[in-house]
Amino acid sequence: MKERFTNFMIGRNGNDQLNLFLLGMGAVLLLLGAFSGGLIHSLFRIAALALIVLVYFRMFSKDVYKRREENTKYLNMRYRLFARLKAVKERWVQRKDYKFFHCPSCKAVLRVPKGRGKIKIVCRKCGNSFIGKS
């Protein structure tokens, strides 16, 4: 039986990180549907069922190139989100010692020490300078 399933899955996409995320979202929607009532209950269950069907479609798809492209887009989006959250966390930790400015021309984040009064801030990325109070 295991050999037959292995032969069936040859040339198919299988499971990836996007499938795991979609399956988790389907489970969350099923739980939310279990604790709600009426029309919302039905909507959550239909959405969960649609996600689970999508997971199985992606898993058994033979268009591996397209599924990998979708998974890569998901991973890039997830990476950008976590990088942004990490940057916000680091700025929060450093808020007592540094003040943060955004460059008016290139929008880069600039960090200057607190308690220096009005200072001229020069952007390292674009070379633009502006005055800011630290």
Residue position matching structure tokens 């399956």: 23
- Predicted confidence at residue 42, as pLDDT, reads 87
Kindly state the average pLDDT of the residues 120-129. 90
How far, CA to CA in Å, does 15 sit from each of 56, 67, 93? 9, 10, 38
The letter for the amino acid at 55 is V
- Predicted confidence at residue 38, as pLDDT, reads 82
What percent of the chain is predicted at pLDDT more than 70?
100
Kindly state the average pLDDT of the residues 95-122. 90
